[in-house]
Structure 1
Amino acid sequence: MSEIGLRERKKRRMYQVVSDIAIGLFLEKGFDQVSVAEVAAAAEISKPTLFRYFPAKEDLVLHRFADHEGEAARVVVERGEGRSPVDALRAGFLDGLARRDPITGLNGHPQVLAFQRLLYGTPSLVARMYAYLERSEAALAEVLGGDLDARVAAGQIVAVQRVLALENWRRVERGESVEDIEADAVAAAERAFARLQAVLCSPSVHEPR
Structure 2
Amino acid sequence: MKPEYPTGLRERKKARTRQALSDAAIALFMEKGFDAVSVAEVAAAAEVSKPTLFRYFPAKEDLVLHRFADHEGESARVVEAGRVYGTAPLDALYEHLIEGLERRDPVTGLCDVPAVLAYHRLLYGTPALLARVHGFQMNSEVALARALGGDRLVARLAAGQIAAVLRILADDNVARLAAGDPIEEVARDAVAAAEEAFRSLRQGLPC
Superimposed CA distance per residue, residues 59-95 of structure 1 (whole angstroms, 9 cap, x where no aligned partner):
1111111111122111111115332101110111111
Alignment match of 2:106 (pick from 91, 102, 108): 102
Deviates more, 1:139-148 or 1:114-123: 139-148
The TM-score normalised by the length of structure 1 is 0.87
CA distance in 1, matches of 2:155, 2:55: 33
1:109 to partner: Cα distance: 1.4
Aligned length: 197
Residue 70 of structure 2: aligned partner? 67
Specify the alignment match of 1:82 in structure 2: 86
Q: Which residue of 2 aligns with 1:163?
A: 168
The DSSP-based 3-state class of the residue aligned with 2:112 is: coil
Aligned position for 1:137 = 141
Displacement of 1:18 after TM fit? 1.0
Give the deviation of 1:145 after TM superposition. 1.4
Aligned-partner Cα distance in 2 for 1:184–1:137: 25
Correspondent of 2:119 among 111, 115, 137: 115
Amino acid at match of 2:160: G
Which runs of structure 2 are paired with 1:1-209 in the superposition (5 Å)?
A: 5-79=8-82, 81-145=85-149, 147-199=152-204
Q: Which runs of 4+ in 1 moved over 6 A?
A: none
Greater mean alpha carbon deviation, residues 85-94 or residues 67-76: 67-76
CA contact (8 A) 1:37 1:47 kept: yes
Identity %: 63
CA distance in 2, matches of 1:159, 1:197: 14
Question: TM-score under structure 2 normalisation?
Answer: 0.88
Alpha-carbon distance, 1:39 to partner:
0.7
8 Å CA contact 1:87–1:197 kept in 2: the answer is no
Residue 206 of structure 1 corresponds to none
Backbone CA RMSD of aligned residues: 1.8
Between the aligned partners of 1:9 and 1:140, the Cα distance in structure 2 is 29
What one-letter code is carried by the residue in structure 2 that aligns with 1:82? G
